[in-house]
Amino acid sequence: MLRIYDTRARQVAEISAGRALRMYTCGPTVYRYAHVGNLRTYVLSDLIRRVLERRRVRVVACQNITDVGHLAGDADEGEDKVLAQARAERRSVSELARFYEDAFKSDTDALNLRPPEHMPRASETIDVMVELIAKLIGKGHAYTVPDGSVFFDVRTFPSYGEISGNRLDELKPAHRIEGVDPRKRFHADWALWKPNEGELSWDTPWGRGFPGWHVECSAMSLRFLGESIDLHTGGMDLRFPHHEDERAQSDSAAGHEVVKHWVHGEHLLFDGRKMAKSTGNVVLLSDVTAAGLDPLAVRMAFLEHRYRQQLNLTWDTLRAADRTLRRWRARVAEWSESPSAPMAGDHVARAESAFDDDLDLPSALRILRELERDESVAPGAKFESFLHLDQVLGLDLSIEIGKTPVLPSGAGPLLESRARAREAGDWAAADRLRDELADLGVRVSDTPEGQTWV
């Protein structure tokens, strides 16, 4: 079974599941395009799902859409990001949110991410949040204030901080200009409901307003997955305060630990810097395709690094990933013309073991490269092995089948002999074999990644 690092437990844990596993992933705030750093988190969730489904575990996934409640900062004041951007783009809130939601779904489709079973929008589940807030008030974990705000009383949840290590007695107050928020009983309390009028507001027993960002994920995960969730995933930046607050809310409402395992993916840098507008290094998936690269080159680049390691992505990295992707597709198409053969058992077993070992995809890719070069394995066996493992990799390695011309009789062995000659540095033999292939109508070109032919 899959073993993966549990952030809260601070160790690799075995994921035990019956025939079904419930997984929640914090979804996007739909006020702008997702950049490739954002998308890395969702590739992580997709890989977990694919590895488990290979073990015939049914995964029930929920990933929310945040279209209200996420303020410009993590504090309990400021403007809603969606509302601010809608005004800037002169669109209605719903028009803007649906536009960027559709863009996000297009990006995830291009990266071969399997859609979740549940994808609730925050704006359409307000009643669920109101119900949860009322429950927390009734249990003494939340309190109202005269202006219509509702705050979570964090001191009623003693184990706060177990995910991030930020303990309550070590947290310093976040000061505004005039000091600590006087509405709060304790400086680390956070808003579950905020008073507001206008387009993003709803009527509740506490007055008109909108929900806090943290309560949304608690409400939607509990509603769509229930009070026992096997895996909760997200980016490393969400550990605090978002996931700490979410855990406190969910566990306080349920009366027990709701999430068994918390899994976080590390940050992505681009050219050595955090991806941000201010540094001018934000890269969208559309930028990758505009550069003539396959969008799945991004997925390949992610697979080359462990999800728990910070990844420094560059254009050179993406171009190298694109070359590997295209070469493997060409080889799979070439091998598809050979007689079928059983999979290369040792290679496949080692790759699958790497999948299970805390998603060690870099080792799995090294094994595939080894298999690609292994002359003792029949082409048909390589074909079956690559396509079998691609069920987890999600690289569309079979996409070129039917597009690549069929090799004329006798050309296949000549190509293999020429590849061996090049590896041995026998350039005279390589040139002679190139001429023999040309006589058969096969034109060979040499690239840094190996020979190609048309």
Cα 316 from Cα 392, distance rounded (Å): 25
334-381 per-position pLDDT tens digit: 999 999 899 999 999 999 999 999 999 999 999 999 999 999 999 999
pTM of full prediction above 0.75: yes
Cα 328 from Cα 387, distance rounded (Å): 11
pLDDT of residue 177: 44
Cα 48 from Cα 447, distance rounded (Å): 34
The first and second tokens of residue 234, run together, are: 């997200």
Pick the last residue of a domain from 265, 297, 313.
265
- Share above pLDDT 90 across residues of the chain, in percent, rounded to a whole number: 74
Q: Please report, in range form, the residues annotated as the binding site for Zn(2+).
A: 26, 217, 242, 246
Cα dihedral 242→245→251→257 (10° resolution) = 50
pLDDT of residue 123: 95
Same domain for 282 and 390: yes
User: Tell me, what CATH number does 236's domain have?
Assistant: 3.40.50.620
Same domain for 110 and 37: yes
pLDDT of residue 405: 59
Q: Please report, in range form, the residues annotated as the binding site.
A: 26, 217, 242, 246, 277
**H/E element, 362:** helix 361-373
Pick the last residue of a domain from 265, 281, 298.
265
Pick the last residue of a domain from 265, 284, 316.
265
Q: Please report, in range form, the residues annotated as the binding site for ATP.
A: 277
Secondary structure of residue 245 in the 3-state scheme: helix
Number of structural domains in the chain: 3
The first and second tokens of residue 61, run together, are: 């996934």
169-226 per-position pLDDT tens digit: 888 775 544 567 899 999 999 999 999 888 889 999 999 999 999 999 999 999 999 9
Cα 207 from Cα 198, distance rounded (Å): 13
Sign of the Cα pseudo-torsion (434, 437, 442, 447, in order): negative
Q: Which residue has the higher pLDDT, 174 or 314?
A: 314
The first and second tokens of residue 49, run together, are: 């799902």
Q: Which of 57-66, 402-411, 415-424 has the lowest mean pLDDT?
A: 402-411
340 Cβ partners below 8 Å, 6+ apart? Answer: 380, 383, 384
Q: Which residue has the higher pLDDT, 415 or 14?
A: 14
Same domain for 298 and 248: no
* Farthest-apart Cα atoms in the chain, separation: 88
- Domain of residue 418 covers 408-454
Same domain for 328 and 427: no
Q: How confident is the model at residue 98 (pLDDT cuts 50, 70, 90)?
A: very high
Does the pLDDT of residue 74 top 60, yes or no?
no
Q: Which residue has the higher pLDDT, 404 or 177?
A: 404
Report the mean per-residue pLDDT for the chain.
Answer: 92
